[in-house]
Structure 1
Amino acid sequence: MILLIIGAVLALFCGVHFYVWKRLVHDVCAPGSRWRLAGTVLAVLLPLLSLGALIGGRAMPLAAERWLAWTGYMWLAVLLYLTMALLVGEFVRPLLRRAPIRPIRTHAQEAQALPEPAPAPEPEPAPAPAGPGRRLFVARTVAIAAAAAATATVGYGTYGVLRGPGLKYVTVPLAKLPAAADGYRIAVVSDIHLGPILGRAHTQRIVDTINGARPDLVAIVGDLVDGSVADLGRAAEPLAQLDARDGSYFVTGNHEYFSGADQWVDFVREVGVHPLANARVEIAAGFDLAGVNDISGESHNAAPDYGKALDDRDRARAAVLLAHQPVMIHEAVKHGVDLQLSGHTHGGQLWPGNYIAELANPTVAGLERYGDTQLYVTRGAGAWGPPVRVGAPSDITIVTLASPKA
C-alpha cells in the first residue's frame, strides 16, 4: 500500500512538471533553440533538487544541505503557484485567441510595402481559426503572466517569513482562574523550525519580539528544530535570552523526534528553558501548567502520558496544557484541562494548504471550545520546507488569561 501511495505521488509530481514544461517551454520556445534546451534542463534538474531537499538533506553537511534546501524547497513553492496560475490561464486562452490583435510589422516590411487603393467595403468575414502566430502570442502571454504571478506570490511570502513573526493578542477567560491571575500573559510560540534555511538570526528575532512584549511566561510548544544539536545548537542559543517572570517552558513536537528529541530536551534545559516531559508545575499566580510529549514520541519510548502530567493535581485550580498537536485536545478534555496551547498546523502555511490541514486537525488556527476545554492554536513562528507563507502569516501569540472573579 505504501509503495502504491509513493508511486501515485511520484506520478503526480512528474505529471505536474511535464505540464509546466509544456506550457512554459514547449509551447513558447522554438524547437532547437537555446531557450528550449535551457528550459528542458531546468525541468529535469529542479524536481531532482526538490526531491533531494525532501529526502536527502540530512545525509550531507549542513552547508551543502543549506544550498540544496534553498533551491529545492523554493522551487516547490514556485511550482505550486505557477501550476495554479497556468491552470487559470487555460480558461483565458480561448478569450485571447479571439481577441483582435494588430499584426506587428518590421521596418523592412514597412519600407517595402506599396500603397494600395482602399478596398471596397465587404461583409465582415467569420473569425478564422487562430494561426501559428496567434497561438504563440497567447502561449507567451499566459506563460509570462503565470510566471510573474507565481514569483510575486512566493517573493512576498518569503519576505513575510524572513522578517520574523508578528505579535497576535488573544484573551482567554478561565472559570477557575483566581482574581489575582487576571491579566496573566503567556507568550505562545511554536514551529520555529530552525534548520538549513532558518538559523540564529531567526531565533534572535523571535526572542527579541517575545521579550519586547514582556510576558509573564513563555511557552514553546514544539517543532523547534529540523536537525541535530551539533548542527543547530548555535542557532538555538539565543533562547537563553528569553526573559519572563515565571520562566520559559518547552514541549516536544513531532520534528524533535526526527532530530533527536533527548538531546534537544537536554539542550533547552542548559540554556534555561524548562522541558515539560509529561510533567506539571504550579504557577504562583494560581494555576497549573502542564506539558506532554508529542504523539510521535510513541515510537521512541516517549509517548504522551496525560495521567502522569495531570491526574494528581488539585482540580479546583485551572490547568493550562502545552501539547504540540491540536488533535491531542480530545485527551485534554478527558483529563479536565481548561486550556490547551498548540501549534503544528502552520495555519496551512501555503494557501490552499489550510483546507488540507483541516482534514487532519480539529482546529487549524485560533481559539475554539471543546466541551469545558478551550484550544488555542498558533500558526507558528517559522516555516517547514519552503521559507514561504501565503495566507497564513507567522505569529507569536500573547495569550492573556482572564478571571471572572476579577
Structure 2
Amino acid sequence: MRIVLFAGIGLAVLALLVLVHRWLWVRLVRDTTRPRGAARRAGTALAFALPLLSLAALTAGRAGAPFWLQRSVAWPGYMWLAVLLYLSLAMLVAEPVRAILLRRRGASGPGACLDAPAPRAAAPATAGEPAPATAGEPAPDVAPAPAPAPAPAGAPGPGPAPGGATRRQFVARAVGGAAALAATATVAQGTYGVLRGPRVKRVQVPLAKLPRAAHGFRIAVVSDIHLGPILGRAHTTRIVETINRTQPDLIAVVGDLVDGSVHDLGPAAEPLRGLRARHGSYFVTGNHEYFSGARQWVDHVRELGLTPLENARRPLPYFDLAGVNDVAGETEGQGPDFTAALGDRDPARTAVLMAHQPVVIHDAVRHGVDLQLSGHTHGGQLWPGNYLAELANPTVAGLERYGETQLYVSRGAGAWGPPVRVGAPSDITVVELASYQA
C-alpha cells in the first residue's frame, strides 16, 4: 500500500514538473523567439536537458553511480531545481503584468492588432506619375498597377525587419528577462550564504532542575551538514573552525552528516577530528545516514573522535546526555528506543536529548526530557518551503516549549539538494544552559 502511495505521489510530481517546464518553454522560448531560429532551438534543447540533469542529480547516488559522475551532474542538476522554483514564482507574478501590457488597447484604438504595421503615409507623386486627386476633383484615368508576382516557394513572408521584434515578442522578452534576473539573483544570494558557511546563533535555555554549577554550560549544536557531491571537505573545515571559535563545553552533532558512502565522503568528513570541547563531541543518526550506510558511518565518526549515542545515555557532571536513533532506522530495525536511552535514569537529574527529527518530541515529553536538540527541517531551506515544513514538524526552527519539555530545532549548517538557502540561513547554535538557582 505504501509503495502504491509513493508511486502515485511520484507520478503526480512528475506530471506537475512536465507541465511547469512546458509553460516556461512557452513563455520564455516560444513567445520570445522566431520559429526555426537558433535561439528557439537552443531554448528547446535546454528545456529538455535541464530537467534530465536534475533527475540524474537526484537519482545518481541511489543508483550507485561513480562519485565523479554524481559530482558532474550535481551542480547543474540541483542548481536548476532552485532556479526553476524561483523562476516559476517570478513568472506567476509576471503573468498579470504581461496580460496588461498585451491588452488590445493602444494609440490605434480598441481592437487594433498589436503586431500590425502602422498605416503608411501616401508617397508624393514622382516625375512621370499623375498627382493624386484633390478634394472635389475626379481621379485621373490611370491604368491599375500590375499585381506583384507571387513569392517563390520557401521564400520568407512579410514580417518585421531583420533584427526587429513584434510588440508581443518585446513584451515577452522584457517580462521574461526581468523574471529570469530576479530568479538568478535570488539563487545566487542563497548559494553564497551556503558556501560562505553557517553563522553562529546563541540561545539561552533556562532549565528548572539544572544545578547552579552548570549555569552557563555551552552546547554547540550542529545539524544537517550534508556532505555530498557538492559540499565537501572545505565545507567541513569551515564548520569545525566556526564551532571551535565558540569554545563550547560540549558539541552535539544531531544527524544528517552525509549524503553518500564512507568510501566517497570519508575524506570530506576528516576535518571532524579537529573538533574540540571540554566534555567531548557526540553524534546521533539522521534519516540521510540510513540512505548512506548508517552502520559504517557510526563506526567512522567514532574513529574521528565523536561518540555515537545509539539509543544510549551518557551521565555528565551536571546532567544526563541521551541520544536516540532516527525514525528512519525503523526500516532496518534500528529505530529510536526511548526506554533504552532514558528508562532507568534518575528523574531528579536534568536530561538533554539529541534526536534528529522534531517529531519525536512527544516521546521525549513522556520520558521526562528537559531539553531536546534537533534539526532535520532546514528551517524550510527554500522559501516558501517553510510552510510545507510546518505541516510535517511540530517546530520548524527555534525554541518552543511542550509541557515541561523544551525543544530547540536548528536550521542546519548545510543544505540538501541545491546548495541554496532562501529565507532560512544556515546556523550553528550555541545553546547556553541556565539554572533557575543562579
Match of 2:300 in 1: 267
How far apart, in 2, do the equivalents of 1:163 and 1:4 lie?
39
Give 1:300 shift: 1.0
Match of 1:150 in 2: 183
2:104·2:112 contact (CA, 8 Å) conserved in 1?
no
Give 1:97 shift: 3.1
How far apart, in 2, do the equivalents of 1:273 and 1:129 lie?
74
Counterpart amino acid of residue 361 in structure 1? N
1:323·1:341 contact (CA, 8 Å) conserved in 2?
yes
Q: 1:393 to 1:130 in 2, by over 3 A?
A: farther
Match of 2:235 in 1: 202
How far apart, in 1, do the equivalents of 2:61 and 2:289 lie?
16
- In structure 1, list runs of 5 or more residues that go unmatched: 102-123
Counterpart amino acid of residue 335 in structure 1? H
Counterpart amino acid of residue 432 in structure 2? T
Counterpart amino acid of residue 377 in structure 1? V
Match of 1:343 among 375, 385, 389: 375
Give 1:5 shift: 2.0
Match of 1:292 in 2: 324
How far apart, in 1, do the equivalents of 2:101 and 2:400 lie?
47
Match of 2:220 in 1: 187
Q: 1:256 to 1:129 in 2, by over 3 A?
A: farther
Greater helix share, 1 or 2?
A: 1
How far apart, in 2, do the equivalents of 1:320 and 1:212 lie?
23
Give 1:244 shift: 0.4
Counterpart amino acid of residue 343 in structure 1? G
Q: What does the per-residue CA deviation read over 1:132-184, in whole Å, with 9 as the maximum and x for residues that have no partner? A: 32211111111100110010000000000001000000000000000000000
2:104·2:114 contact (CA, 8 Å) conserved in 1?
no
Q: Show the 5 A alignment for 1:99-138.
A: 126-129=109-112, 131-132=114-115, 133-138=166-171
**3-state SS in 1 of match to 2:379:** helix
2:121 matches 1:89: no
Match of 1:113 in 2: none
Counterpart amino acid of residue 412 in structure 2? G
Match of 1:217 in 2: 250
1:57·1:68 contact (CA, 8 Å) conserved in 2?
no
Give 1:192 shift: 0.2
Give 1:128 shift: 4.5
- Larger Rg, first or second structure (1 or 2): 2
Match of 1:72 in 2: 77
How far apart, in 1, do the equivalents of 2:65 and 2:290 lie?
19
**3-state SS in 2 of match to 1:398:** strand
Counterpart amino acid of residue 77 in structure 1? A
Q: Structure 1 stretch 296-305 or stretch 250-259: which is displaced more?
A: 296-305
Give 1:98 shift: 5.7
Q: Show the 5 A alignment for 1:164-183.
A: 164-183=197-216
Counterpart amino acid of residue 281 in structure 1? R
Counterpart amino acid of residue 281 in structure 2? S
Match of 1:332 in 2: 364
Counterpart amino acid of residue 85 in structure 1? A
Counterpart amino acid of residue 131 in structure 1? L
How far apart, in 1, do the equivalents of 2:113 and 2:345 lie?
76
1:167·1:395 contact (CA, 8 Å) conserved in 2?
yes
Counterpart amino acid of residue 162 in structure 1? L
Give 1:129 shift: 4.2
- In structure 2, list runs of 5 or more residues that go unmatched: 116-165
1:160·1:388 contact (CA, 8 Å) conserved in 2?
yes
Q: Show the 5 A alignment for 1:309-388.
A: 309-388=341-420
The sequence identity of aligned pairs, in percent, is 69
Q: What does the per-residue CA deviation read over 1:166-215, in whole Å, with 9 as the maximum and x for residues that have no partner? A: 00000000000000000000000000000000000000000000000101
Give 1:100 shift: 9.7
Give 1:61 shift: 1.4
Q: What does the per-residue CA deviation read over 1:225-245, in whole Å, with 9 as the maximum and x for residues that have no partner? A: 000000000100111100000
1:74·1:387 contact (CA, 8 Å) conserved in 2?
yes
1:98·1:130 contact (CA, 8 Å) conserved in 2?
no
**3-state SS in 1 of match to 2:102:** helix
Give 1:127 shift: 4.2
How far apart, in 1, do the equivalents of 2:113 and 2:389 lie?
43
For these two proteins, the number of residue pairs brought into alignment is 383
**3-state SS in 1 of match to 2:282:** strand
2:296 matches 1:243: no
Give 1:96 shift: 2.5
TM-score (norm: length of structure 1): 0.92
Counterpart amino acid of residue 341 in structure 2? A
How far apart, in 2, do the equivalents of 1:130 and 1:346 lie?
51
Match of 1:302 in 2: 334
2:72 matches 1:40: no
1:57·1:69 contact (CA, 8 Å) conserved in 2?
no
Q: What does the per-residue CA deviation read over 1:290-310, in whole Å, with 9 as the maximum and x for residues that have no partner? A: 000000111112111100100
Q: 1:199 to 1:27 in 2, by over 3 A?
A: same
2:226·2:259 contact (CA, 8 Å) conserved in 1?
yes
